[in-house]
Amino acid sequence: MNRKLMVLSKYVAFARISATHGRYDRSELYGRMAFFVVILGVFSSLWGATREAGLAIVADPKSLVWYLASTEWILLSAPLMHVDVQEALRRGDVAYEVGRPVSYVGATFAQGLGFVGSRSPLLAATAFLCAFAFTGWVPPWRALAAVVLFGSVAIALLTALHLAIGLVAFWIGEVTPVFWVWQKLLFVFGGLMLPIRLYPPIMQRLAAFTPFPDILAGPASFVLDGEAVAGRVLAVRLAMWCVATTAVVQWLYTRARRALTVNGG
Amino acid sequence: MPDNPAVELRELTKSFRVRRATGRGIAARLRDVVAPQTHAVVAVDRLSFSVRAGERVAFIGPNGAGKSTTLKILAGILHPDAGTVRVLGLVPSHERYALAFRIGTVFGQRSQLWYQLPPRDTFALLGRVYEMDATEHRRRIDMLVALFELAPLVDTPVRQLSLGERMRCEIAASLLHAPQLLFLDEPTIGLDVSAKATIRELLRTESDRQGVTLLLTSHDTGDIERVCDRVIVIHRGRLLWDGTLADLRRSYLTAKRITLWTEAERLDVGKPGVRVISSHSYRTELEVDAEMTSLGSVVDAALRQSAIRDLTVEDAPLDVVIRAMYADADAGGES
Q: Is residue B328 part of a domain?
A: no
Q: Is residue B76 part of a domain?
A: yes
Show which of B203, B219, B249 is a domain's final residue: B249
Using alpha carbons, list the distances in angstroms from residue B98 to A102, A257, A264, B83, B175: 11, 17, 21, 21, 17
| Cα A213 versus chain centre, distance | 12
For CA atoms B261, B266, B270, B274, the dihedral sign is: positive
Q: Is residue B321 part of a domain?
A: no
8 Å CB contact between A98 and B93:
no
Same domain, B170 and B58: yes
Say if the Cβ atoms of B100 and A9 lie within 8 Å.
no
Report the range of poorest mean pLDDT among A139-148, B24-33, B145-154, B227-236: B24-33
Per-residue pLDDT of chain A (265 residues; tens, 9 = 90+): 688 888 999 999 999 999 999 888 778 888 888 888 898 888 888 877 777 776 666 678 888 899 999 999 999 999 999 999 999 888 877 877 777 899 999 999 999 999 999 999 999 999 999 999 988 889 999 999 999 999 999 999 999 999 999 999 888 888 999 999 999 999 999 988 888 877 888 988 998 899 999 999 999 999 886 555 678 889 999 999 999 999 999 999 998 888 777 666 5
Same domain, B149 and B59: yes
pLDDT at B232 over 90: yes
Same domain, B9 and B100: yes
Distance, CA of B211 to CA of B180 (rounded, Å) = 7
Give the bridge partners for B44, in sequence order.
Answer: B14
For position B113, what pLDDT does the model report?
A: 93
B17 touches chain A (CB under 8 A): yes
Query: Which residue among A6, A95, A262 places its CB closest to the CB of B79?
Result: A262
Whole-complex ipTM: 0.86
pLDDT at B335 over 60: no
For position B149, what pLDDT does the model report?
A: 87
> Domain residues for B200?
5-249
Same domain, B262 and B242: no
If one counts the domains in chain B, the total is 2
Query: Which residue among B16, B17, B121 places its CB closest to the CB of A17?
Result: B121
Question: Quick one: what percent of chain B has pLDDT higher than 90?
Answer: 38
Q: Is residue B291 part of a domain?
A: yes
Residues of A in contact with B97 (CB under 8 A): 101
Distance, CA of B294 to CA of B178 (rounded, Å) = 51
Tell me which of A5, A9, A84, A261 to substitute to probe the interface with B (most B C-beta atoms closer than 10 Å). Answer: A261
For position B188, what pLDDT does the model report?
A: 85
8 Å CB contact between A47 and A64:
yes
Distance, CA of B102 to CA of B115 (rounded, Å) = 26
For position B191, what pLDDT does the model report?
A: 80
Distance, CA of A45 to CA of A33 (rounded, Å) = 19
Distance, CA of A256 to CA of B175 (rounded, Å) = 29
Same domain, B103 and B189: yes
Same domain, B197 and B259: no
For position A1, what pLDDT does the model report?
A: 64
Say if the Cβ atoms of A96 and B110 lie within 8 Å.
yes
pTM for the model: 0.84
Same domain, B181 and B265: no
What CATH code is carried by the domain that includes residue B181? Answer: 3.40.50.300
Give the bridge partners for B13, in sequence order.
Answer: B82
pLDDT at B222 over 90: no
Same domain, B32 and B172: yes
Show which of B249, B269, B294 is a domain's final residue: B249
Could you tell me the pLDDT band of residue B1, with boundaries at 50, 70 and 90? very low
8 Å CB contact between B152 and B160:
no
Distance, CA of B177 to CA of B102 (rounded, Å) = 8
What does the pLDDT look like over B246-271, one tens digit per residue?
Answer: 888 777 767 788 899 988 888 887 88
Distance, CA of A3 to CA of A6 (rounded, Å) = 5
Distance, CA of B166 to CA of B119 (rounded, Å) = 9
B121 touches chain A (CB under 8 A): yes
Q: Is residue B276 part of a domain?
A: yes
Same domain, B293 and B165: no
- What does DSSP say about strands B283-289 and B255-262: parallel, antiparallel, or unpaired? antiparallel
Q: Is residue B322 part of a domain?
A: no
Kindly report the average pLDDT of chain B as a whole number: 87
What value does the mean pLDDT take over residues B153-174? 92
What CATH code is carried by the domain that includes residue B259? Answer: 3.30.70
What value does the mean pLDDT take over residues B286-305? 85
What value does the mean pLDDT take over residues B169-178? 91
Q: For residues A54 and B321, which has the higher predicted lDDT (pLDDT)? A: B321
A114 touches chain B (CB under 8 A): no
- What does DSSP say about strands B238-244 and B230-235: parallel, antiparallel, or unpaired? antiparallel
Say if the Cβ atoms of B129 and A102 lie within 8 Å.
yes
Query: Which residue among B17, B117, B125 places its CB closest to the CB of A14?
Result: B125
What does the pLDDT look like over B45-97, one tens digit per residue?
Answer: 999 999 999 999 999 988 888 888 898 899 888 899 999 999 999 999 999 99
Residues of A in contact with B80 (CB under 8 A): none
User: Mapping DSSP to helix (H, G, I), strand (E, B) and coil, where does residue A25 land?
Assistant: coil
For position A242, what pLDDT does the model report?
A: 96
Distance, CA of B154 to CA of A130 (rounded, Å) = 41
Give the bridge partners for B183, in sequence order.
Answer: B105, B215
Distance, CA of B333 to CA of B335 (rounded, Å) = 6
Show which of B216, B249, B282 is a domain's final residue: B249
Task: Looking at B179-317, list the stretches that DSSP marks H as alpha helix, in order from N- to C-terminal side.
Answer: 193-210, 221-227, 245-252, 295-305
User: Mapping DSSP to helix (H, G, I), strand (E, B) and coil, where does residue A212 land?
Assistant: helix
Same domain, B80 and B182: yes
Same domain, B91 and B141: yes
Same domain, B60 and B107: yes
